[in-house]
Amino acid sequence: MALDGRIAGHGIGALKDGKPPDETDNANYFCEYAFLYHQMDMLEDEHRTGAYFNAITWNPESFKDKVVLDVGAGTCILSMFAAKAGAKEVFAVEATDMAVRSRKLVQAQGLSHIIKVLQGTVETVTLPSMVDVIISEWMGYFLLRESMLDSVLIARDRFLKPGGALFPSHATLFLAPVGSAKACREKQQTFDGERQHFDNFNCTMMQYYGTDFSCMQEEFLEEQRKYYLQTGMFVNLAPKQLAGSGSPVLEIDLSTITLQDLKDSAKPLRCCMRISRDSQLEGFTGYFNVTFRGSTQNPVKEVVELTTAPTTKTATHWGQQLFGFFPPLQAKNEDVLECQLFIKRQKKNHRLLQLDSAFELCRESNGKRFVCQKREDTWYVD
């Protein structure tokens, strides 16, 4: 029995392509993955591609003579790694027309006898057997943007044998306080400029057309506030920009988490970030790690970790997500920034995120702890 109550193996039969994504989901998400430039951008991320290559090729015993499912296969690069590591059979499932190109790539590598490319969503394909291993690169900005993990869990519940392994097997989302962020200051300046922009606009409308738009000012500023001040920013931060180390706010074991767990926003996520120096906190950042450990029954010999943490070296294509505090918080060394976070899916597009948060900056004085600043904010990961 699958973890969420479905009978594992539903969808087992003759090998069969699945259905394409619905038109809305294709336009919102899938369509960009059909372009080679987008696939190349991901493949050229040496941290991403190298971590998967190492996790698979350093652990051939996890793949030798195994049946593997690649969810969201793209160019089938992970499928080809698995085949070269000794997999007996690989089912590569790709929802977009990239499947046509990946068949050509697989054939050019002489691996068509091992890798079978299926076009369609993993929710609708039919496989001839259960699988020993599921591989997938499902992570989005702030780990969960794009909601592709849903598809991996559905594939797990439909096709993975008991004790089978997922690559990666674990994921952790971190938050860290940011002490210096030029991007936050620039966003504030731009927003302030939009306020003046509206005043100038309204004066022009009154002077030339006799129409007063002042009743729209608050709605305009609300639009601009959401765009400039409440939407996460893609950044590549250096460690020196952090005002404290990262703290895990969400830890996922892909073998046990359920779809309901993933979608349930009723319980808040919590973490505490200790401030390491006197600083003006201009915001916080989110980044993630994924780890390749195999399963309890099929553990790897060489554990591999992929991190998107701030670095002075080459960054990943995920970078980090930066969320600004407007105005900044005034923190001192050894303060603790406590966070309560709800990660929700946006109503307009379930693949985008809404973060509802409450922060408390706590300080100790004369042996007593008190809250010196509080704030509640809503941010968006678009």
**Owner of token pair 């059909």:** 34
Structure tokens at 334: 């050894």
Residue 283's SS3 state is strand
CB-CB neighbours of 55 under 10 Å:
28
| Catalytic-role residue among 23, 46, 89, 137 | 137
Which residues does 93 contact at the CB level (< 8 Å), separation at least 6? 18, 69, 70, 71, 72, 73, 118, 120, 121, 122, 125, 155
Distance CA 152, CA 136 (A): 7
137 is an active site residue = yes
Distance CA 306, CA 64 (A): 23
Do the Cβ atoms of 62 and 293 come closer than 8 Å?
no
Q: In angstroms, what is the C-alpha Rg of the chain? A: 24
| Catalytic-role residue among 89, 146, 194, 282 | 146
Q: Give the DSSP letter of residue 45.
A: -
146 is an active site residue = yes
Give Cα separations from 313 to 75, 142, 309, 319 (angstroms). 27, 20, 11, 12
Strand partners, 117: 92
Strand partners, 83: none
Catalytic amino acids? Answer: 137, 146
